[in-house]
């Protein structure tokens, strides 16, 4: 059979011997491949020849777009107001919560997932760097506001992230008019900024229990080699004075 095949090849290519025949046979094979794939040169031909049939390489542009799609969730106050207005027009409930979210941990993830379950759209107010520094002191935040906003936006439970410079999110709450205002259970019910404004619009305030042993402070202490304090039931916190 091999001899018969060689005879057919020689009938097409003419009698050849040694290296000449081998080179002509390779060129014939390449010509057949280009007849199927179209003329290619250099790297393009090499890439097409190595790609298995039916498998199409993903364009780099598409990969980059997919990797940064969550950044669209980071909004200005004006953009977030429009988003909430449209949601209410469609009969959806807007949920709002806020925080510094300096080092995201499982307690944050569960808290935000629980908050999202209370409505149809979760907006997170994120303290800007200057705000965190005033509230937490020198050395904080550990991550700048752009990084913290992106990590939050990457969570499936979060629909929008809005930065605010003030010490409290009162301006955001008044502007967005959420149906549900969420805070951790470590905040006293009478100390939650925006509770009165949300209640006046017929909304409600929900306090969510936190995950024991999960906190940014404990993570910082552990990273610094310090022994974290034993977990005790925290006293209800109060919001800082309004500015």
| C-alpha span between 211 and 175 (Å, rounded) | 30
Average pLDDT, the chain: 81
Can you give the pTM of this predicted structure? 0.68
φ and ψ of 60, to 5 deg? -60, -30
Q: What is the pLDDT of residue 40?
A: 52
Asked whether residue 45 carries a pLDDT value surpassing 80, the answer given is no
Asked whether residue 242 carries a pLDDT value surpassing 90, the answer given is no
**Domains in the chain with CATH codes:** 2-57 (no CATH), 70-223 (3.40.50.620)
Contact 125, 172 (CB under 8 A): yes
Structural tokens at position 160: 């929008």
List, for residues 166-202, the tens digit of each pLDDT value.
999 999 999 999 999 999 998 898 899 999 999 999 9
Q: What is the pLDDT of residue 224?
A: 75
Residues catalogued as catalytic: 8
List, for residues 83-140, the tens digit of each pLDDT value.
999 999 999 999 999 999 998 999 999 999 999 999 999 999 999 999 999 999 988 9
């Amino acid at each position: 059979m091999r001899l018969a095949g060689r005879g057919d090849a020689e009938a097409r290519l003419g009698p050849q011997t040694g290296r000449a025949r081998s080179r002509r046979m390779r060129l014939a094979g390449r010509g057949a491949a280009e007849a199927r794939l179209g003329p290619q040169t250099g790297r393009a031909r090499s890439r097409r020849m190595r790609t298995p049939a039916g498998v199409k390489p993903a364009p780099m542009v598409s990969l980059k777009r997919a990797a940064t799609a969550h950044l669209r969730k980071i909004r200005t106050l004006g953009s977030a107001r429009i988003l909430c207005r449209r949601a209410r027009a469609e009969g959806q409930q807007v949920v709002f919560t806020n925080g510094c979210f300096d080092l995201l941990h499982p307690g944050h993830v569960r808290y935000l997932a629980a908050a999202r379950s209370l409505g149809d759209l979760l907006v997170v107010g994120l303290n800007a760097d200057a705000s965190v520094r005033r509230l937490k002191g020198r050395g904080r935040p550990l991550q700048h506001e752009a990084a913290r906003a992106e990590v939050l936006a990457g969570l499936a439970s979060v629909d929008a992230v809005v930065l605010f410079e003030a010490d409290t999110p009162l301006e955001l709450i008044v502007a967005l008019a959420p149906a549900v205002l969420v805070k951790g259970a470590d905040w006293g019910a009478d100390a939650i900024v925006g509770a009165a404004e949300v209640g006046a619009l017929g909304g409600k305030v929900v306090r969510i229990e936190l995950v024991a042993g999960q906190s940014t402070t404990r993570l910082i202490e552990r990273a610094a080699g310090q022994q974290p304090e034993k977990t005790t039931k925290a006293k209800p916190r109060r919001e800082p004075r309004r500015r």
